[in-house]
Amino acid sequence: MTTTENTDHRGVRALTVRSSGGDPLDPGTTTEPERDTERIRRLALDAGYNLFGVSAPGPFEEHAHLGQIIDRGYLGTMSYLSDRASERSDPFQVAPWVKSVLVMGMFYETPHPHTVDVLSENKASSSDPRLWISRYGWGRDYHRVLTTMNRKLLRNMKLAFGDDTRLRFWVDTGPVMEKVFAVHAGLGWMGKNTMVINPTAGSWFFLSAWYTDLELVTGDRVPDHCGSCTRCLDVCPTNAFPEPYVLDATRCISYRTIETREDTIPEDVGDGLSSHLFGCDLCQDVCPFNKKSPMTTLADFQPRNPGFAPRRTEVEALLDDPQAYDKRTRGSPIRRAKMHGLRRTLGWLDEAMARRREEGET
């Protein structure tokens, strides 16, 4: 620790004790909402985040939409979303003390091909097709990456504002509707594909939400810039969007290849899987706002080997070798599907191919 003489924002000279970590401005204290908001923004960006905003805790109108989605059966077997629906819809049930919600975003776009490039190659030669892995599944699990960052950031926040400050964070794991808060924090608007779209960064970013008892300045909402564009809706091969801004997860390729616990699939959805093995990026690939998305510099989000579009023979060899599978998927989002899920998807792809052959479409 060091003691220095300085002049604060009011022009008052004072002796300040600075800790070796955390925020260099007024460590261990709160000031006023505007200043504290800027202090946290600097800490978040220093920690490695690319986007930052603050939302009020709500609840907002969008929180009520969850009940409608559940009633329509759009969540499928994702009971972990419906079981705690009341908490997701009312932040005060989770944290009665919450006054502000911090929302942070981290880019994960990389300069590698997109889905359409792989699908085009498969059309030209399908003897050993490439299988698509969603961009978020290429490298290390983002839950782990962001949680590691958040633990360090939490220590620095405590140094900055004092140990009594209440803070709780999630990385897509708790009863928190991160995307709703991201919209109200000004990180972007909710696109027709239900992704948060930033006007300059697009939608290739991960989110982390924090509840805090600090009184902070909330961000300004970003207007919806989707306009008349329907590219994300039109490109979906399984018709997973019954209407703009509404996703039926039971028809979504990502749900079917990752989340579902069912071993059967509706034929029309199976026919739309194409070459998808784990997840889907189509509705983001075609979004005009993603044409100039910033690239991540983190090695954690770069493709592992086999990479983002492995040959089918490579996948089959991996699934036949438990040790190789364990090494390739350790710390990877791909483990969420498990070996059974990946084999199941390969089976569905085979079933779809057989139907096309029967119909003479090969």
Active-site residue numbers?
A: 172
Cis peptide upstream of residue 59 (ω within 30 degrees of 0) = yes
Q: Return d(Cα 238, Cα 166) in angstroms, integer.
A: 44
Please state, as a whole number, how many other Cβ atoms lie within 10 Å of the Cβ of residue 106. 24
Which residues in the chain belong to E strands, given as ranges? 2-7, 13-18, 51-55, 100-107, 132-133, 167-170, 189-190, 196-197, 205-212, 276-278
Torsion angle of alpha carbons 50, 51, 52, 53, nearest 10°?
Answer: 180
Nearest to 154 by CA among 113, 211, 86: 211
Record the tokens describing residue 250, joined without a space: 């039971």
Q: Are 261 and 275 in contact (CB under 8 A)?
A: no
Query: In 264-296, which positions are buried (b, 16+ CB within 10 angstroms) versus exposed (e)?
Result: ebeeebbbbbbbbbbbbbbbbbbbebbeebeeb
Record the tokens describing residue 200, joined without a space: 């300059």
Q: Are 58 and 184 in contact (CB under 8 A)?
A: yes
Question: Tokens 């085009």 identify what position?
Answer: 120
Please state, as a whole number, how many other Cβ atoms lie within 10 Å of the Cβ of residue 53. 25
Record the tokens describing residue 230, joined without a space: 């329907």
Element (H, E) at 45: helix 33-47
Q: Return d(Cα 202, Cα 296) in angstroms, integer.
A: 13
Q: Are 285 and 116 in contact (CB under 8 A)?
A: yes
Report DSSP letters for 206-264, one per residue.
EEEEEEES---PPPPPPPP--TT--HHHHH-TT---SBTTB--GGG-HHIIIII---S-
